[in-house]
Amino acid sequence: MNHPHLDALVIGAGFGGIYQLYSLLKLGFNVKLIEKAPGVGGVWFSNNYPGATTDTASYLYRYTWDKDDLQSYLWANNYLSRDEVVAYLDHVVDKHNLRQHIRFSTEMVAADWSEAAGKWHVKTDQSEVIATTYLVMATGVFTRPNVPKIPGMGTFRGPVMHTASWDNNVDIVGKRVGVIGCGSSGIQVSDAIAPIIAELHCFIRHPPYSIPLRFRPVPSSERSDINSRYNEIHAAQLLSKLALDIGEPDTKTLSVTEEERQQTFESLWRDGNSFRFKYGGFGDLASNAEANEEACKFLRAKIRSIVKDPAKADTLTPNDLFTRRPPCDQGWYEMFNQDNVFAVDIQETPITAIEENGIRTSDGKIHELDIIVLATGFQSVRDNGINGRGGVSIGDYWAEEIKTFLGIFIHSFPNLFMVNGPQGPFSIAPVTIETEVDFISEMLSYLRNTDRVDAVVECTLDKETEWVTLCGRSADTETLENTVSSELTSTNIAGAKRSVIFFYNGLKQYRNHLQEVKDMEYRFLLS
């Protein structure tokens, strides 16, 4: 890197990092971006498993700030494949000449706040130290794959691949494949590979409620209609909770007759998409256990009506509430009607070991396999080598619970900002990211324009505590998350402590909180 002394260093070339780089360059800051992968995409770059697809509509899964691009960059189907997302971000980077400011295959290994210099010293795996006034972590929450500790993992004679590090050189055609985990990644990869492999063994601990995605081509008339309404759609997103462009009705599930309720559920199932199902029909499915149970009854009946084998249906049917982050599928339940697709209930018969020939379960059975896929998700990142005031690491600071102000700032970590980090709003990624990046960029611009470039930006402990409390309260009132272990509470990993990962009151309220801080001229942030 030619400029080791920077105004800002951005880490990560996903949606957040690319927009942050663009915004700060536009404001005239001396800024660079480093990315550990050899290409753009962030989480989409590494998650290149077969079937990787967005479950946010294509027309919303893009930046809103490039109005020309909104009109002209084509998308063919209602959802984007992983390759299309990466191609789109490549296009943006090239169109706006950002590549010259990005260094790929460069990983941040540590960052230390220097009190004396008032800067971050960022060490990379290229044996260099970059000094920067501001450090923007645009690495998201899904960076470290969760690889379960299963005895004998190293003894398996075939490939073991996590969905976040898929090896395209491995030939899966005609093979016996075991997939551990059935969140969005496990379901997507299973749906995609089932037609071409010899046997699929899905190892299922908590079966999710999965809703059909209803993937389809989008006719040009529909695209023209969306193009003509983009400004209107975007304005409505900013005033909504989830920014999903689904209306967010507030009808109570139990306020309608049984017949009306079933009709609504049926039409939501037919339209597809789990978020639409959860939030697009009734206003209280996500937060009221009684209402939620009505959806569960409908979905359990759906699963049993599709899956013909009662034993498989038992394994695939959840008993708990419809509250984890819901996956979308392209034939997940139908697939189990094939004789060569097996559902292994690992609540009933847990995995005891991985052996040379496959996976052994507690009933003594060996499930013979050629390839094992770990679709076991991610650890929420608490320790990432960042050391703030007094050398305290984020890992230590968050040992008991994750604590932020607005999901952007952490007390004791001056001039450090997170984009799409924990405790930001629970709403779809691109527009959430734009909201956070715009806030950061405006704040830095304000400091420069008011001759306060030397001011240190750090949230007060009081504000941080207040925000964590607000996030906790939002989880209590807006969700049923506390009833299950989930990545949404950071309890998907054995032994992990419960933390609130989102601000669940939604984007509109989140933006109001940001506006308040702006209106007070960033008072709680400047020393």
Alpha-carbon distance 382 to 91, whole Å?
A: 32
For residues 455 and 526, is the Cβ–Cβ distance under 8 A? Answer: yes
The count of residues in the chain is 527
Enumerate the H helices of 12-157 as residue ranges.
15-26, 43-46, 67-72, 82-95
Alpha-carbon distance 483 to 333, whole Å?
A: 25
Alpha-carbon distance 423 to 426, whole Å?
A: 8
Closest CA to 197 of 375, 372, 376, 377: 372
Q: Which residues on neighbouring strands pair with residue 119, listed in sequence order?
A: 114
Closest CB to ligand NAP among 216 and 518?
Answer: 216
Enumerate residues 153-182 that contact ligand NAP by CB under 6 A: 163, 180-182
Enumerate residues 332-361 that contact ligand NAP by CB under 6 A: 346
Closest CA to 111 of 124, 95, 99: 124
Q: Does the footprint of ligand NAP cover residue 375 (CB under 6 A)?
A: yes
Closest CB to ligand NAP among 74 and 494?
Answer: 494
Q: Does the footprint of ligand NAP cover residue 479 (CB under 6 A)?
A: no
Q: Quick one: tokens of 193?
A: 């590979």
Q: Does the footprint of ligand NAP cover residue 377 (CB under 6 A)?
A: yes
**Contact string (CB under 6 A) for ligand NAP, positions 176-215, x = contact:** ----xxxxxxx-x----------------xx---------
Q: Does the footprint of ligand NAP cover residue 54 (CB under 6 A)?
A: yes
* Backbone Cα Rg of the chain: 23
SS3 content of the chain, % helix, strand, coil (to 5): 40, 20, 45
Phi/psi zone of residue 72: left (φ > 0), alpha (ψ -120 to 50 degrees), beta? Answer: alpha
As measured in angstroms, the least distance from the Cβ of 288 to ligand NAP is: 22
As measured in angstroms, the least distance from the Cβ of 376 to ligand NAP is: 4
Q: Does the footprint of ligand NAP cover residue 491 (CB under 6 A)?
A: no
As measured in angstroms, the least distance from the Cβ of 257 to ligand NAP is: 33
Q: Which of 39, 50, 148, 331 binds ligand NAP (CB under 6 A)?
A: 148
Closest CB to ligand NAP among 231 and 347?
Answer: 347
Burial label for 205, CB within 10 Å (0-12, 13-18, 19+), is middle
Phi, psi of 160 (to 5 degrees): -120, 120
Closest CB to ligand NAP among 119 and 278?
Answer: 278
Q: Does the footprint of ligand NAP cover residue 427 (CB under 6 A)?
A: no
Size of the site for ligand NAP (CB under 6 A): 25
Q: Does the footprint of ligand NAP cover residue 277 (CB under 6 A)?
A: no
Q: Does the footprint of ligand NAP cover residue 376 (CB under 6 A)?
A: yes
Closest CB to ligand NAP among 57 and 180?
Answer: 180
Interface region with ligand NAP, contact rule CB under 6 A, candidates 13-21, 88-96, 375-383, 516-524 = 375-383
Interface region with ligand NAP, contact rule CB under 6 A, candidates 103-111, 236-244, 374-382, 505-513 = 374-382
Q: Does the footprint of ligand NAP cover residue 379 (CB under 6 A)?
A: no
For residues 73 and 91, is the Cβ–Cβ distance under 8 A? Answer: yes
**Each residue of 276-310: b (16+ CB within 10 Å) or e?**
bbbbbbbbbbbbbeebbebbbebbbebbeebbeee
Enumerate residues 228-267 that contact ligand NAP by CB under 6 A: none
Q: Does the footprint of ligand NAP cover residue 53 (CB under 6 A)?
A: yes
As measured in angstroms, the least distance from the Cβ of 16 to ligand NAP is: 15
Q: Does the footprint of ligand NAP cover residue 51 (CB under 6 A)?
A: no
Q: Which of 19, 63, 120, 142 binds ligand NAP (CB under 6 A)?
A: 142
By CB under 6 A, name the binding residues for ligand NAP. Answer: 53-55, 142, 146, 148, 163, 180-186, 188, 205-206, 325, 346, 375-378, 487, 492
